[in-house]
Amino acid sequence: MAKLSIPHHDRLIFALDVPDLARARELISTLGDSVQFYKLGLEFFLSGHYFELVHELKASGKKVFADLKLFDIPPTVGRAVAQLAQHEVDFVTVHGQDAMLQQAVAHAGDMGVLAVTALTSLDRGDLDDLGFDCDIEALVLSRARRALALGCRGVISSGLEVSALRDSVGEALTVVCPGIRPVDNVDDQKRTMTASQALAAGADYIVVGRPIRDAHDPRQAAERIQEEILEYFN
């Protein structure tokens, strides 16, 4: 069970995966106080307005998760993280080996470095194609233990691996779970859970994108997930 002292409303991270600033601002306005934490990924990064929106969100009291999955030679990752830390981002993802994570942690300041374990779009067949001779859970646990040893704030993990992850590293890492779906999954996320299932397994934060963004009423969709979170903790 998630034990970090996190305000309930902060546990929902909305994935603001949109192509332009106008659409981003529209969604933020629509969602209002139903969302306090936003994930900004690669799609919006390429809009050219990434840091403009980061500053707007921070100025309005929101939290920001820069889901950039940094992967490059370690010194470049370190310098990139140092640049990002100047913008008061709360979390950043790094998707790489030990030396990359070390450099990220060394330059992060107060920003939390989250190590990517295994993307929620991967299944056993995908790992075979990539040449990983282990199952997904073993890969997640191995990367989580290394992330802990290297000083990362936490990890990105499918909810399906969180219970085993908690057994392995306890409460020492913050666990952020993408691939959260309020109904049966019908898209390209292969390893998914509902919000309450992920929290019960030990997730600290849940990431929800399309079920909110593409809903007929995005605010109502976000509020329903917030209600599910509140009901779980009550």
Any idea which residues carry the catalytic annotation? 69
- Within 10 angstroms of residue 22's Cβ, the number of other Cβ atoms is 11
- Residue 71's nearest CA partner among 60, 80, 63, 59 is 80
Three-class DSSP category at 216: coil
Residue 180, beta-bridge partner list? 193
Helix (H) or strand (E) holding 70: strand 63-70
Distance between CA atoms of residues 217 and 220, nearest Å:
5
Distance CA 100, CA 151 (A): 12
Burial class of residue 164 in the structure, from the number of CB atoms within 10 Å of its CB (0-12 exposed, 13-18 middle, 19+ buried): middle
Token pair 């809903």 in the structure block, residue: 215
55 close to 84: Cβ distance less than 8 angstroms: no
- C-beta neighbour count of 10 within 10 angstroms: 16
